[in-house]
């Protein structure tokens, strides 16, 4: 959560007659900190930092504690961006100030397993040494770095290689074969190597979207994975979309849903709600959908709140596009309401001109303008990604809207070391949105400039692995 000058105080629901604070809670009287524990003291210091950034000071008393004990973020580093270590450390610093205490890097093929070079050699993977460095950095900031390896579905980046094709199963041949003992042996090997680099006792094994593998077959393999995770001394986290009953009682079910009206359900065992930033498949985000989805998840009584930021289909959105959803999610998970535009201006973009918060908000709502809405995607993204562009009635008006929003960008005065980079990232997002409109209108132009900037901006924050995959569709558009 950001500070009380930005967030509205939530109603007190408990009366602390003993004067004690709940875990992670703190009390500020002037500049004096009282805290329930070391984490509470750290969060009090973060609040003071945010207040001082605005030139303010604590008047009277602030008493605060989190709504969700686990407030997490999951970043997709498999489709297709693997951030540099410099980028990851900077992300951790930002998340820590927002009182996030759980971080996952969603992994399919982007860890450098010693015996599986063919899988990751072109992906610029995370190494064990890098994980250990990041783990220590997170711990210093009261963030638990939780290991993540999808272990059933979404295994296509492995199964496309000849050495693993005999393990392919499911209707799309993207799942590990649950009937093969070799599948479990492979996972046992991977877990033994991966988990040795983490201090967390949690482990997210994924297991979502196992197309064609459901029911008893799915449950039996999940139970085998669960036994394996327990043998490695971890608590298993797994996605809850396939299994409707019979969940392992000592695991944590991750209930995901990314649309504004998604109904998060209590599975009757420990669970986290898992909304998302709505940034993927969008270019510039889906602001209204994002905020409603995040707020809806926060209304559910769960054991944790895991905000997801995916990179499907080329990871075309730039990192600052996700700021709106990440900051709002941090606020809702802590327990506050947020006026997101001034919060972004003050604590995220640090924009003395007060431009970027509204620009990010409005550009993220361009998805509503073409005249048709999609699940987990936007019409403007589809106008570029699909081979044959669909027709939409409002593309001239949409392009005018984008032009009007982007016209404000030169007025921004961000007081950040990466201010010029952020400005360029939003500029290229604007070019992509305009190109989408023009392609839908039958007169696409400017893709070569977009590609050149996309390549440069990608390498400014991320490793080269995955860039070729991200560019594939864009390069195909440049040929016509």
Percent of the chain with pLDDT over 90: 92
Query: Edge-to-edge strands of the sheet including 61-64?
Result: 32-35, 26-29, 61-64
Q: Which residue has the higher pLDDT, 49 or 60?
A: 49
Residue showing tokens 């440049």: 478
Q: Nearest Cα to 46, choosing from 112, 111, 78, 93?
A: 93
How far is residue 111's CA from residue 78's CA, in Å, rounded to a whole number?
A: 9
For the chain, the structural domain boundaries read: 7-64, 75-146+251-480
pLDDT at 1: 44
| Alpha carbon separation from 448 to 280, 343, 455, 479 (Å, rounded) | 22, 35, 11, 9
Answer yes or no: is pLDDT of 2 > 70.
no
| pLDDT, average across residues 389-408 | 96
Query: Across 225-314, where does the E strand assignment appear?
Result: 235-239, 252-256, 271-274, 304-309
Please, are residues 157 and 142 in contact by the beta-carbon 8 Å criterion? no
- Reply yes or no on whether the pLDDT at 471 is more than 90: yes
408 is written with which tokens?
Answer: 């404000």
Tell me what the mean pLDDT of segment 182-207 comes to.
98
> CA angle, corner 68, sides to 67 and 70, nearest 5?
150
In this structure, what DSSP letter does residue 235 have?
E
Confidence class for position 4, pLDDT limits 50, 70, 90: very low
Dihedral, CA of residue 429, residue 431, residue 437 and residue 441, to nearest 10: -160
Across 161-172, average pLDDT: 98
Confidence class for position 249, pLDDT limits 50, 70, 90: confident
Of the options 2.60.40, 3.40.50, 3.20.20, 1.10.10, the CATH number for the domain spanning 75-146+251-480:
3.20.20
Note the pLDDT of residue 6.
40
pLDDT at 19: 64
Q: Tell me, what's the pLDDT at 244? A: 86
Q: Please check the confidence at residue 11 and state whether its pLDDT lies above 90.
A: no
Q: Supply the pLDDT for residue 16.
A: 39
Q: How far apart are CA 332 and CA 306, in angstroms?
A: 11
How confident is the model over 322-355, as pLDDT tens digits? 999 999 999 999 998 899 999 999 999 999 999 9
CA distances to 261, 276, 422 from 292, in Å: 7, 10, 25
436: closest CA among 380, 379, 391? 380
- The predicted pLDDT at position 13 comes to 37
pLDDT, mean of residues 106-115: 98
Q: What is the pTM assigned to this prediction? A: 0.96
Q: At 7, is the secondary structure helix, strand, or coil?
A: strand
CA dist 163 and 157 (Å) reads 12
Is 220 in contact with 213 (CB distance < 8 Å)? Answer: no
For residue 14, pLDDT over 90 is answered with: no
In the beta sheet, which residues pair with residue 181?
none
- pLDDT tens track for 437-458: 999 999 999 999 999 999 999 9
- How many Cα atoms sit within 13 Å of 182 on the Cβ side? 9
CA distance 262 to 297: 8
What is the C-alpha to C-alpha distance for residues 329 and 478, in angstroms, rounded to an integer? 37
Please say if the pLDDT value at position 312 is more than 80.
Answer: yes
**Token pair 């990440």 in the structure block, residue:** 326
State both tokens at 288: 């209204």
Q: Give the Cβ contact number of residue 43 at 10 Å.
A: 28
For residues 306 and 274, what is the distance between their CA atoms, to the nearest angstrom? Answer: 5
**Per this entry, what is the length of the chain?**
480
Kindly report the average pLDDT of the chain as a whole number: 95
Tokens for 111, please give them.
């860890």
């Amino acid at each position: 959560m950001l500070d009380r000058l930005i967030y509205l105080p939530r109603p007190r629901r408990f009366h602390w007659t003993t004067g004690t604070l709940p875990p992670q809670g703190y009390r500020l009287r002037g500049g004096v900190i009282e805290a329930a524990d070391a984490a509470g003291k750290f969060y009090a210091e973060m609040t003071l930092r945010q207040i001082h950034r605005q030139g303010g000071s604590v008047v009277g008393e602030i008493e605060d504690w989190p709504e969700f004990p686990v407030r997490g973020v999951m970043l997709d580093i498999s489709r297709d961006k693997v951030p540099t270590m410099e980028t990851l450390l900077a992300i951790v610093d930002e998340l820590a100030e927002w009182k996030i205490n759980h971080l996952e890097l969603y992994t399919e093929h982007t860890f450098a397993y010693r015996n599986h070079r063919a899988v990751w050699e072109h992906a610029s993977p995370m190494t064990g040494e890098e994980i250990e460095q990041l783990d220590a950095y997170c711990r210093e900031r009261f963030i638990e770095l939780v290991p993540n390896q999808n272990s059933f579905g979404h295994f296509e980046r492995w199964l496309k290689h000849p050495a693993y094709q005999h393990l392919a199963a499911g209707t799309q041949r993207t799942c590990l074969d649950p009937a093969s003992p070799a599948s479990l042996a492979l996972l046992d090997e991977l877990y033994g190597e991966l988990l040795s680099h983490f201090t967390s006792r949690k482990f997210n094994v994924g297991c979502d979207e196992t197309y064609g593998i459901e029911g008893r077959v799915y449950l039996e393999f999940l139970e085998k994975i669960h036994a394996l995770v327990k043998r490695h001394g971890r608590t298993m986290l797994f996605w809850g979309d396939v299994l409707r009953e019979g969940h392992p009682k000592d695991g944590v079910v991750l209930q995901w849903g990314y649309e504004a009206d998604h109904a998060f359900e209590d599975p009757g065992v420990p669970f986290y709600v898992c909304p998302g930033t709505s940034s993927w498949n969008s270019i510039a985000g889906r602001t209204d959908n994002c905020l409603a989805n995040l707020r809806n998840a926060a209304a559910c009584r769960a054991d944790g709140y895991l905000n997801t930021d995916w990179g499907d289909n080329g990871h075309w959105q730039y990192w600052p596009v996700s700021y709106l959803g990440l900051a709002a999610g941090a606020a809702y998970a802590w327990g506050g309401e947020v006026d997101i535009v001034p919060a972004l201006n003050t604590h995220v973009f640090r924009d003395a001109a007060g431009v970027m918060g509204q620009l990010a908000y409005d550009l993220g709502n361009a998805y509503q303008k073409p005249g048709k809405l999609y699940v987990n995607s936007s019409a403007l993204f589809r106008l570029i990604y699909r081979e044959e562009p669909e027709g939409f009635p409002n593309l001239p008006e949409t392009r005018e809207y984008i032009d009007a929003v982007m016209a404000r960008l030169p007025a921004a005065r961000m007081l950040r070391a990466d201010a010029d980079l952020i400005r360029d990232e939003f500029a290229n997002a604007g070019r992509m949105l305009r190109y989408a409109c023009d392609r839908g209108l039958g007169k696409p132009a400017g893709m070569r400039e977009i590609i050149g900037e996309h390549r440069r901006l990608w390498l400014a924050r991320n490793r080269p692995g995955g860039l070729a995959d991200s560019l594939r569709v864009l390069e195909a558009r440049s040929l016509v």
